[in-house]
Amino acid sequence: MKVRSKLLKFLVTGTALFSMSLPSYVHAQTSTSPVKAQSDPPLSQPKYAYSDAIRETVFVESNLDTDDNGKKDRIAMDIIRPKETEGSLRVPVIMDASPYYERLGRGNESEVKDKDKDGINEMFPLWYDNYFVPRGYAVAQPEMVGTNQSDGCPTTGGPEEIESIKATVDWLNGRAKAWNKDGKEVEAYWTDGKVGMIGKSYDGTLANGVAATGVEGLKTIVPIGAISSWYDYYRYGGIPYYKGGPSGLARTVVNSKRQAQCEPVRQQILQESDDATGDYNSFWDKRNYINDVKNVKASVFLIHGLNDYNVKTNQFSRWWAELAKQNVPRKIWLAQTGHVDPFDFRRSEWVDTLHQWFDYWLKDMKNNIMDEPMADIERSAGTWNTYSTWPDKQADYVKINLAANKKGETGELTKHSVLKSPSISFTDNPFLTEKQLVQTDASLNKNRLLFLSEPLSKSVRFSGTPKIELSTATNAEDTNYTAYLVDYGTDTRVNHEARGEGITTLTEEDCWGESAGADDACYKKTVKNTHTSDYEIVTRSWMDAQNYKSLSVTTSLSPGKPYQVRWDALPEDYIFKPGHRIGLVIAGSDDNWTVPDTTKAENTILLPRSSLRLPVVGGEQAIDF
């Protein structure tokens, strides 16, 4: 199975793989503190019976007609709230909007609303309802346009999907109409209008998009492994990861009874997404929520796996950087896992922290959540450090030059000038595996270039986005480039490339909240999956040389003419340990992750004008080679 099959886990298969570590909350550097007691700081308490909670389904009228049937699409939303809201109690709403409630499901156990398909929703997937409803919250689960009980057709991240969920926030604040299953118009008299959106993957993506509308009443969002720009989900540097992605996803999530009805919408998506060039165009611009980050009024608690190669790290880093420019109140957790929910990699601390977060932003409880360090970063399995922000304020870009080795075999990474260093050539072979590409075997150099630092005398941490610049000439009109930043050194690491993406699911369960009927509060425990390896691919990146001017413009290359090709690698926060070596692998097109180029071009790299720029904490003085 090709490595890129991992890309399908979130938005094609929709399965969710989560993890958990033993609870540890590491402050400053490596000291571990216990889970906070219920009384310090003050937290909302479970005083409303979950078994008595009111469960209802409403259908909110939107201004959409995505299936072009002449009727406004209605958006289905299941709600669970304390019985006391029928009296004087008014509660805030925790919302998890999703396209996955009919099938595929949510969470590590793939929970759906109607498991036996009898037309009755037996449960609210995930643990939020079990835990938070007794503590005086309502939980709402809207179904994205075109999915499950909602009308219309999905558009894969389009403004229609965002508008469909925004309409439910509007209804909760008295700005839209809704009806129950009996056709009776209903109002949200039971809520105080404060909404917090949460969700992993597509669910968190909807939260990002709705926040970018600036809708009134949305007080906070908690996006977990979420998309901020759909172009960056399906493309990198002008290269598609695979073909037919957006239209295929629309087919995957649509209401199973409306597959044929929504086929015209999928065909339009297929055409407008433009697999042929891989360029950024108006289709993708409409699906770029970063364009509207200035509208965000909600606070943001962002969680992402540093080894997430489904929703890759550029999704959170660009969104986070723009939120910082807008001075949005925010918090971030970065884990060593892949596409995994914090409920399954840091469960106790996650429940406690999220509880404080929602109490602060939705109940106005004056706890200390915003006084804590902004960033939590997992350094090894279960060991977390806290920092004032991300990326680290002390990170400065250091230019690392690419030099030829005196023996003409493996190249060198150096801070010294390489003005007299020669050019080096290699022939594109897209079918080499990643394992082959990163080997130090010099016989592979005809199809890739490897540059190594000297063994490090001290730790080197980088925090942020590495940048690649190649001065390159090719014998074809088109060629692609791949770059891997590699840590060469034996260590025990989180095994994020194995099934589970860093976690192993156990049979034993623990419970979080109250249970009633089929909707129990118990979930399988997980443990971190680690392995000892001789190297780690720290970050990856790809670039279509025909997009050297812009991701929006394809320009044919003149064979033999040198071009400056610049691109960003995927963001990271990583520590190279003493004795390890930093490596940079440069190759051609990559069938492991992307749609490969077919030219099999011969590429020549002019070393004096080629470099790696690494955001090193401590700058120049922190690197000793």
Residue 344, Ramachandran bin (φ over 0: left; ψ between -120 and 50: alpha; else beta) = alpha
- Choosing from 129, 151, 339, 463, which is the catalytic residue? 339
Q: Pairing between strand 530-544 and 480-494?
A: antiparallel
CA distance 482 to 541: 6
| Known catalytic membership, residue 201 | yes
CA distance 403 to 221: 46
Residues ≥6 apart with Cβ < 8 Å to 18: 107, 108, 340, 341, 343, 344, 345, 503, 526
Cis amide leading into 41 (omega within 30): yes
CA distance 404 to 562: 19
- CA 472, 473, 478, 481: dihedral to nearest 10 degrees? -30
Sign of CA dihedral 185, 190, 192, 193: negative
Structure tokens, 137: 């919250």
- Choosing from 21, 44, 150, 201, which is the catalytic residue? 201
- Choosing from 67, 151, 279, 308, which is the catalytic residue? 308
Sign of CA dihedral 171, 172, 175, 179: positive
| Known catalytic membership, residue 496 | no
What DSSP assignment string belongs to 31-61?
EEEPPPPTTTTT-----S-GGG-EEEEEEEE
| Known catalytic membership, residue 339 | yes
Q: Please name the residue ranges forming H helices in 196-345.
A: 202-211, 231-234, 245-253, 263-273, 282-285, 314-325
Catalytic residue positions, numbered: 201, 308, 339
